[in-house]
């Protein structure tokens, strides 16, 4: 996207789905041996891709994204912070750092798909991203997530579809103590408050973080 005065002003007016909770996230985050922090990572670019990864179109798309993941739970990393999450044998979600500049990226994926069977759809406004991090992040999630989140079963660089607090999310472990949750935008308020509630027991174990 070419920056203009108009689209720069529009970008400045963007409101993320959980922006009204940012102060609560900051106040509820704590440091220390049992610390845990919560923040929203807003305005990431997200592209839904349906394609056979072994087809010629899949190979062309993979060349742009840094590859398409081959099995459940895997995440493929590409250039410029691009990551692609496995959702199904022929379904993927590509995540980029900022939705504001991805028009050309999406157009490139559409061109790569060509006449091949499949879809490329910009889903950037469909979800938001929460990041839960710290020594107690897994404990907070385990209160309301039935998936096995122990490191032996859920390693860094793994992403799954699951539920947290009965809310469908993509749960992505980006580091040893860092998890990203991608809920539908309409569930952002509910899930944000749910996670804050799960963090309360750790508030006396450390000092406030991310202020």
**What pLDDT score does 83 carry?**
97
- For 155, counting Cβ atoms within 10 Å of its Cβ (0-12 exposed, 13-18 middle, 19+ buried), the class is exposed
H-helix or E-strand spanning residue 38: strand 37-40
- For 104, counting Cβ atoms within 10 Å of its Cβ (0-12 exposed, 13-18 middle, 19+ buried), the class is exposed
Cβ proximity of 105 and 96 under 8 Å: yes
pTM (2 decimals)? 0.89
Assigned superfamily of 18-42+128-205? Probable tRNA modification gtpase trme; domain 1 (3.30.1360.120)
Query: Is the pLDDT assigned to residue 210 strictly greater than 60?
Result: no
DSSP letters, 10-26, are HHHT---TTGGGHHHHH
**What pLDDT score does 209 carry?**
52
Query: Is the pLDDT assigned to residue 5 strictly greater than 50?
Result: no
Return the SS3 of 139: helix
Residue of higher predicted confidence among 144 and 101: 144
Q: What are phi and psi of 81, to 5 degrees?
A: 75, 15
Q: Where do you find CATH 3.30.1360.120 in the chain? A: 18-42+128-205
Both tokens of residue 57? 């179109």
Q: Where do you find CATH 3.30.70.1520 in the chain? A: 45-122
The band of 9, judged by pLDDT with boundaries at 50, 70 and 90, is low
Both tokens of residue 183? 């809920």
- For 17, counting Cβ atoms within 10 Å of its Cβ (0-12 exposed, 13-18 middle, 19+ buried), the class is buried
The band of 98, judged by pLDDT with boundaries at 50, 70 and 90, is confident
Assigned superfamily of 45-122? Heterotetrameric sarcosine oxidase (3.30.70.1520)
The band of 139, judged by pLDDT with boundaries at 50, 70 and 90, is very high
Q: What is the pLDDT of residues 143-181, one digit of tens each?
A: 999 999 999 999 999 999 999 999 999 999 999 999 999
Return the SS3 of 32: coil
What CA–CA distance (Å, rounded) separates 145 from 138?
10
Q: What is the pLDDT of residues 42-70, one digit of tens each?
A: 999 999 999 999 999 999 999 999 999 99
């Amino acid at each position: 996207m070419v920056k203009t005065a108009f689209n720069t002003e529009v970008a400045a007016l963007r409101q993320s789905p959980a922006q009204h909770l940012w102060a609560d996230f900051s106040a509820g985050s704590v440091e220390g041996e049992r610390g845990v922090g919560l923040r929203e990572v807003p305005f990431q670019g997200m592209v839904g891709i349906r394609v056979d990864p072994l087809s010629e179109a899949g190979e062309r798309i993979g060349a742009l994204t840094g590859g398409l993941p081959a099995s459940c739970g895997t995440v493929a990393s590409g250039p410029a912070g691009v990551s692609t999450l496995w959702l199904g044998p022929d379904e993927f979600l590509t995540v980029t750092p900022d939705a504001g500049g991805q028009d050309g990226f999406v157009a490139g994926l559409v061109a790569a798909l060509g006449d091949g069977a499949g879809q490329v759809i910009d889903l950037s406004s469909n979800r938001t991203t929460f990041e839960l991090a710290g020594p107690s992040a897994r404990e907070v999630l385990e209160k309301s997530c039935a998936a096995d989140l122990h490191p032996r079963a859920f390693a860094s660089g793994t992403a799954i579809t699951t539920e947290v607090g009965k809310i469908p999310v993509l749960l992505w472990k980006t580091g040893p103590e860092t998890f990203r949750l991608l809920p539908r935008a309409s569930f952002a308020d509910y899930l944000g408050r749910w996670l804050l509630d799960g963090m309360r027991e750790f508030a006396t174990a450390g000092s406030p973080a991310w202020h």
